Amino acid sequence: MLLKNKKIAIIGAGPVGLTMAKLLQQKGAHVTVYERDKNAQARIWGGTLDLHEATGQQALKKAGLLEHYFANATPMGRTLADEKGNVFFAVQPERNTPEINRNDLRTLLLNSLTSDTVVWDRKFTNLTIHNNKWLIHFEDRPDAIADFVIGANGGMSAVRKYVTDAEVEDTGTFIIQGEVHEPEINCPEFYKLCNNNILMTAHNGTLLAANPNNHGALTYNVIIKTPEDWADGNGNLQQSETTSALLLKRLSGWNELYKQLLTATTLFWGLPTRKLPLNIAWKSDRALPITLIGDAAHVMPPFAGEGVNNGLMDTLLLSNNLTNGTFKTIEDAISNYEKQMFVYATAAQTETFKNELEMRNPDFSFKKRFSN
């Protein structure tokens, strides 16, 4: 086995990093995951995830966790409405690809690993080489040693520079996320419009997507073209009243029930959508084994639902290459994985970029799309 007597370090305890750890651990590999969150109870912000049958679900099946996914996920239908609050299209919940809360998915994966697999409160800073080993440095924490490093720490990964010179680019779209607790009380009319489905509305270059059942809260995204005067749109939008006023102006012609949603929101989070160009070859002169998976490898906007699914596909391919006895060296296994990953990740980026441009167009509407 290529990984015999090797210490593998995975940077990042998201769904992709934890799944990778599980797939390697069940083959007897020595794996440690380093995560910047303080502990396992740290809340992960964001909407629910649906794992696709051919990719994400296959990874969980290989990890022996597919039944647990279905037990913890909720089938969700889709409701399409116009800006006046009129529903014109609805589909029943899809039971083959239910939605799972991000924190529930993390708990599921953590429970499948040995208790000492994840080391918390470790903010990665950089790598150096010492005695032919990776020396992993963290902010205000002791260093760690590994033979093989896998970067799985998201779209702004600090591990990436050791693998590629490609830099992340903003794609010109901005997502404002909001959350409402007890939505049946705080925004009852909007909650009723959702009808327990994911609700989607698009009008005049603004798209709203809301999930009324995200672990007891209603979470939603407002998606717009990034305004030219927004110099830095990343981070927590602390001034909720200011953000609410901005969105109320943007949705001034919409039905009052949408405004009810905005005024009921106490916390907003904003982020620009980004992508990592995949037309730049990754470094071939890596001194020691190192690679990237998930958003660290191919961050892309979320307009095709492929982000986490591509990442879980990464774990399937890379773990199989490292443990199936086909390759002579870890470097060969990595090279083969990266060659395949570039193909499907590029296709997913192309699809999501096409969808992004379409939805950002002021003339786009779901009603027009589904009437054609």
Tell me the pLDDT tens digit for each residue of 76-115: 999 999 999 999 999 999 899 999 999 999 999 999 999 9
What per-residue confidence (pLDDT) applies to 362? 87
Amino acid, res. 21: A
What per-residue confidence (pLDDT) applies to 232? 52
Q: For the chain, which residues make up each domain, given as ranges?
A: 7-69+101-168+276-358, 171-274+360-371
CB atoms within 10 A of CB 227: 10
What per-residue confidence (pLDDT) applies to 65? 98
CB atoms within 10 A of CB 230: 11
CATH code for the structural domain at 171-274+360-371: 3.30.9.30
Rg of the chain, C-alpha, whole Å: 21
Compute the CA torsion angle 226, 227, 233, 239 (nearest 10 deg).
-120
What per-residue confidence (pLDDT) applies to 266? 82
Residues of the chain with pLDDT under 70: 229-241, 370-372
What per-residue confidence (pLDDT) applies to 234? 46
Q: Are 59 and 315 in contact (CB under 8 A)?
A: yes
What per-residue confidence (pLDDT) applies to 162? 98
What per-residue confidence (pLDDT) applies to 341? 98
What per-residue confidence (pLDDT) applies to 220? 95
- Whether 171-274+360-371 and 7-69+101-168+276-358 are alike in CATH topology: the answer is no
Tell me the pLDDT tens digit for each residue of 346-364: 999 999 999 998 888 888 8
Amino acid, res. 184: E
Domain boundaries 7-69+101-168+276-358, CATH class: alpha beta
